[in-house]
């Protein structure tokens, strides 16, 4: 089942999110919107609640209060089975360190979401190979994560996040563990792939160079979205 989306309304929206980890309030009424096909950067210092916001939006954790709406569905109220379906088909998630499965090859890591969705292995491998090529890591199919460079591993993780053609990709500090060149290559590949497929991207970052790839930027401080930055041109080079 695919969530319905009405033109003119946000594809994904959070309203008044509150989330505490023990006695620490990570989110204190955060609100944000993501439009279809938009690349949005959420910036802020460490400890400002950026990752918690992403986890709430992606349905990984449930907020203590507030609402997360995706295509007319209340993500924060969905049963676990529907959340798992969303993350398998319509949401893609990329973490700072990729979190690839170390025992699997690059090809099998990327094919995994398709295999879990019931696609035949040969077809899943074919599609996965195409995505590895799009992210410039064709030829590394048989290598395991430990045999890849940091930049290669992160681009494999991006290919895995996009292999199901999701509506939204959530990227949590996707270049945080990379050097400047690898980070630029990773963001260029992500933006290009998202533009081609019309995928919305929410990227968490503390790096202004990464935020410059977005269409729009919002700033998070102490669990609250304080301000919306001026629009900047998406980088498609």
What rounded mean pLDDT belongs to the chain? 88
233 found inside a domain: no
- For residue 232, pLDDT over 70 is answered with no
Is there a contact between 65 and 28 (Cβ–Cβ < 8 Å)? no
Could you read off the pLDDT of 114-124 as tens digits, one per residue?
Answer: 998 899 999 99
231 found inside a domain: no
- Please state whether 222 falls in left (phi above 0), alpha (psi between -120 and 50) or beta: left
- For residue 230, pLDDT over 50 is answered with no
What is the reported pLDDT for 62? 95
Segment 3-9 long-range contacts (CB within 8 Å, at least 24 positions apart):
3/70, 3/71, 3/72, 3/73, 3/86, 3/90, 3/167, 4/71, 4/72, 5/36, 5/71, 5/72, 5/167, 6/72, 7/36
What is the edge-to-edge ordering of all strands in the sheet holding 24-34?
A: 24-34, 12-21, 65-70, 73-74
| Domain coverage including residue 215 | 12-226
C-alpha to C-alpha distance for 155 and 130, rounded to whole angstroms: 13
105 found inside a domain: yes
CATH of the domain at 79: 3.40.50.300
Provide the domain count of the chain: 1
Q: Quick one: pLDDT band at residue 231, thresholds 50, 70, 90?
A: very low
3-class SS string, 14-36: EEEEEEEECCEEEEEEEEEEECC
β-pairing verdict for 73-74 and 39-43? unpaired
The pair of three-digit structure tokens given for residue 155, joined into one six-digit string = 């681009």
C-alpha to C-alpha distance for 55 and 122, rounded to whole angstroms: 33
What is the reported pLDDT for 195? 93
6 found inside a domain: no
Could you read off the pLDDT of 126-159 as tens digits, one per residue?
Answer: 999 999 998 888 888 999 999 998 888 988 999 9
Helix-strand-coil percent breakdown of the chain, rounded to 5?
A: 35, 25, 40
5 found inside a domain: no
Beta bridge partners of 200: 168
234 found inside a domain: no
The pair of three-digit structure tokens given for residue 40, joined into one six-digit string = 């949005």
68 found inside a domain: yes
Could you read off the pLDDT of 81-118 as tens digits, one per residue?
Answer: 999 889 888 999 988 776 899 999 999 999 999 998 89
16 found inside a domain: yes
């Amino acid at each position: 089942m695919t969530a319905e989306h009405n033109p003119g309304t946000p594809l994904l929206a959070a309203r008044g999110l509150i989330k505490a980890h023990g006695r620490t309030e990570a989110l204190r009424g955060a609100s944000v919107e993501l439009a279809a096909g938009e690349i949005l950067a959420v910036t802020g210092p460490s400890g400002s609640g950026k990752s918690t916001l992403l986890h709430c939006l992606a349905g990984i954790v449930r907020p203590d209060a507030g609402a997360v709406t995706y295509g007319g569905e209340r993500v924060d109220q969905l049963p676990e089975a529907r959340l798992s379906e969303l993350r398998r088909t319509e949401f893609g998630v990329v973490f700072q360190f990729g979190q690839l499965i170390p025992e699997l090859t690059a090809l099998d890591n990327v094919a995994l979401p398709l295999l879990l969705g019931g696609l035949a292995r040969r077809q899943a491998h074919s599609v996965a190979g195409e995505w590895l090529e799009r992210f410039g890591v064709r030829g590394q199919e048989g290598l395991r994560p430990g045999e890849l460079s940091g930049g290669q591993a992160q681009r494999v993780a991006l290919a895995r996040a996009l292999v199901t053609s999701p509506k939204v990709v959530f990227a949590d500090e996707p270049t945080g563990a990379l050097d400047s060149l690898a980070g630029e290559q990773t963001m260029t590949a992500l933006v290009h792939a998202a533009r081609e497929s019309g995928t919305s991207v929410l990227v968490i970052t503390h790096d202004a160079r990464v935020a410059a790839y977005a269409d729009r930027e919002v700033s998070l401080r102490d669990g609250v979205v304080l301000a919306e930055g001026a629009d900047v041109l998406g980088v498609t080079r």
